[in-house]
Chains A and B, each alone.
Chain A
């Protein structure tokens, strides 16, 4: 399945759109892991990132299948606006989604099921999703098994300014989507 269709299905499976660029990247990253599809993700200082996914999202916008809304939610230390990019499928996008569902019914069902597992695992914000992605990287490095303290120690070493509750949520998330096997 080409990345553009995968991204379209991801928007569809998460209720017709995903809020926030980081959340978009991380949700699609986890969908890909769960379904064994990579779609160009590579390690980044801030966790896995795929230009291929960003491009596909951008293509959906340029074809008017996806609408992007910029929402200001505060100001940074330099006084610049902090914005979140919210995406939603347009009417044309919904039509395309329906056609693609017929074209790839099995793939759609699988993506929908995985997206539901991600949703049911807790409504994580973009920071927590990024943390979960990093925690998953640590787990992989440890051969798929690690205790929570190892994850926390490495996360602290990364300089994440987070509290333990947030990290616990990220770890629980991995548990619930069945990507983690704890010692």
Chain B
């Protein structure tokens, strides 16, 4: 690769790019990534977290390049890996992962737009469609190269090693976001020794499936550090309480905006089909336009407007209930863990309506807490369930099976070779149910009082909802 430009990056210093990459970066479609923040509204917790998919994409390209060189890829493979890394997030919609959830809700999978399979991720389909069809890149990327890039981003080209550089347990994407998100959030959780990790990477040849990524024994500590970094930043940043609330508020703004406010513009962004018209509309949106458009006065009185304004002004819903799902009766647990899924929206709305009555009554009885919306309207109450994996579980699913070079012996696995992970006892993952409500209080004492008053009542209401029994009175 002949580097024609260097871009100053706060994490890696100078990032070199060649002429083709420069053309791609200059295209409007890539520049749009400057207006899509990496961590949506995480800046409401970590004020520095204003970085975007744009610089992240450059960082991933930079790391993918280092990995390609280290793993002795051919020049052409390296060129294509760099392009795949640069374009891996090109299909992100406003507020990144929030859009993925909205696309899942409003896309008619039965119609199989774009030959969408049951397990396909819609934003990855959009990414592929952009790479395949964008006319701005006609002179930069040949048609055959576009097909290969799409295949590298999916697991369908060459050795698994190629795919693992852009999408795998220790891919360039994860390496960049750990370091970059730490840097911009001002935390040190995502830091790991990247140089040592790269130094100790190898490729191992599997006669059946081709080359795989492997690590030497001297790299085990760096990989342990990477695993822990991912665990800490997930819990401290990505799963931060306020981040969970803001993401849910955004999703609710979109769903109410489409279902109740009947804003057709919103529906057009999220009802995916594989037509050029959809793509054109989808790509016209970014975080800034989204916020400016739907907080405009013409949408005054709409739910979408209300929730987005709350986000803009940091008047957030409050977490009033949090419970490990296993602490609830048996019949509730399985449906409760599914309650946030797109197929269970009706059931979720019914449960929220039921809980809202209890919450309103309890709040009215508590003179220090107030409801901050129409008490007859349950639509701003959000019940949300999710799992938090233990460090051992997280690592087992991703890094644990990375082969470790023990030449002259046959390779072992990271899980077997890591003394640290061997000594951590297996810990159960935890599944939680949270409730976020439009309430306000003045002090943490008031907050605690409200949560205490609601805890048992909400649990009883959830139980009676799934078991069919008498409601608990507030």
Contacts and interface: CB of A to CB of B under 8 A. Distances in A.
Given A42-B155, A95-B330, A62 B208 contact: no
Given A38-B119, A63-B325, A68 B422 contact: no
B426 interface: yes
Ranked 6 nearest A-B pairs via Cβ: A51-B397, A92-B330, A157-B207, A63-B333, A64-B326, A159-B410
A96 interface: yes
Given A54-B397, A76-B416, A158 B208 contact: yes
A141 B393 contact: no
Contact of A45 (B326, B403, B419): B403
B334 A154 contact: no
A173 interface: no
A54 B396 contact: yes
Contacts of B396: 21, 54
Interface stretch (B303-311, B348-356, B427-435): B427-435
Contact of B431 (A62, A141, A154): A62
A18 to B, nearest CB: 16
Contacts of A61: 428-429
A33 interface: no
Nearest to B422: A80
B209 interface: yes
Contacts of A158: 206-208
A62 B209 contact: no
A70 interface: yes
B207 A58 contact: no
B209 A137 contact: yes
B389 A58 contact: yes
A161 B412 CA distance: 12
12 contacts: A46-B403, A54-B397, A55-B387, A58-B429, A59-B431, A61-B428, A63-B325, A63-B326, A63-B333, A63-B334, A80-B419, A80-B423
B426 A68 contact: yes
Interface string B183-220: 00000000000000000000010111100101000000
A78 B429 contact: no
Interface in A51-96: 51, 54-55, 58-59, 61-65, 68, 70, 76, 78, 80, 85, 92, 95-96
Contacts of A21: 396
Interface string B317-335: 0000000111000110110
A137 B208 contact: yes
A141 B208 contact: yes
B50 interface: no
Nearest to A154: B207
Interface residues of B, number: 39
A28 to B, nearest CB: 14
B248 interface: no
Interface of A: 2, 4, 21, 38, 40, 42-46, 49, 51, 54-55, 58-59, 61-65, 68, 70, 76, 78, 80, 85, 92, 95-96, 134, 137-138, 141, 154, 157-161
A62 B410 contact: no
Contacts of B330: 64, 92, 95-96
Contact of B411 (A45, A54, A59): A45
A138 B208 contact: yes
Nearest to A157: B207
B362 interface: no
A46 B413 contact: yes
B281 interface: no
Nearest to A141: B208
A80 B420 CA distance: 11
A152 B152 CA distance: 30
Given A61-B428, A62-B428, 18 more contacts: A21-B396, A43-B160, A43-B209, A44-B212, A46-B401, A46-B403, A46-B413, A54-B396, A58-B428, A59-B431, A62-B325, A62-B387, A62-B429, A63-B333, A64-B326, A65-B334, A95-B330, A96-B334
A138 B209 CA distance: 9
